[in-house]
Amino acid sequence: MSYKDKLAENQEKRAKQAEQAKRDAKRAKIRTEQQTREAADKKNANPNDKKAVEKAAKEAIKEAKLAKKIAENVKDLPKESDAAAKEAANVADATKKEEDREFSNDMNNLADETTGNVKEAEQLADSAQRTADEARKIAELPVDPPKDKKG
């Protein structure tokens, strides 16, 4: 396998990972919204049944955290994709071959696609978090204190 083939294969893997992350974050966001609606419905149906409302709200919060984790796991992909695209551009500049220019363009397009999908996954995660905050308010749950990260 040539160097260019390996570079392209890795670039395609990153693009697919970012696309999958976007889909997964979207699913988590949708589940967050569903659980938030469920919490609101349960509270409206029976305001005294705090346990059912809290359970739905906690599920919404869990889904939002999942969406955030999904986005966090792919946050470095755009940097890696851009570096690979830059490498392909350097090869094209050095060789002045048309096929290398086309390869460079393909690598750039995949890098742009990767960046777009990662940004969209981050936006979906942020939206899910806002929805989970609504669920938290509906269930009157306290905000989670920030956790100390131990290195």
The residues near 121 (Cβ < 8 Å, ≥ 6 apart) are: 18, 21, 22, 24, 25, 67, 70, 71, 74
Domain spans in the chain, listed from the N-terminal domain onward: 15-138
pLDDT in tens, 3-15: 899 999 999 999 9
pLDDT at 148 over 60: no
- Provide the whole-model pTM: 0.86
Whole-angstrom distance, CA of residue 57 vs CA of residue 55? 5
Chain centre to alpha carbon of residue 108: 21
* Residue written as token pair 């906690």: 58
pLDDT in tens, 63-106: 999 999 999 999 999 999 999 999 999 999 999 999 999 999 99
HEC secondary structure over 115-126: HHHHHHHHHHHH
For residue 148, count other CB atoms closer than 10 A to its CB. 5
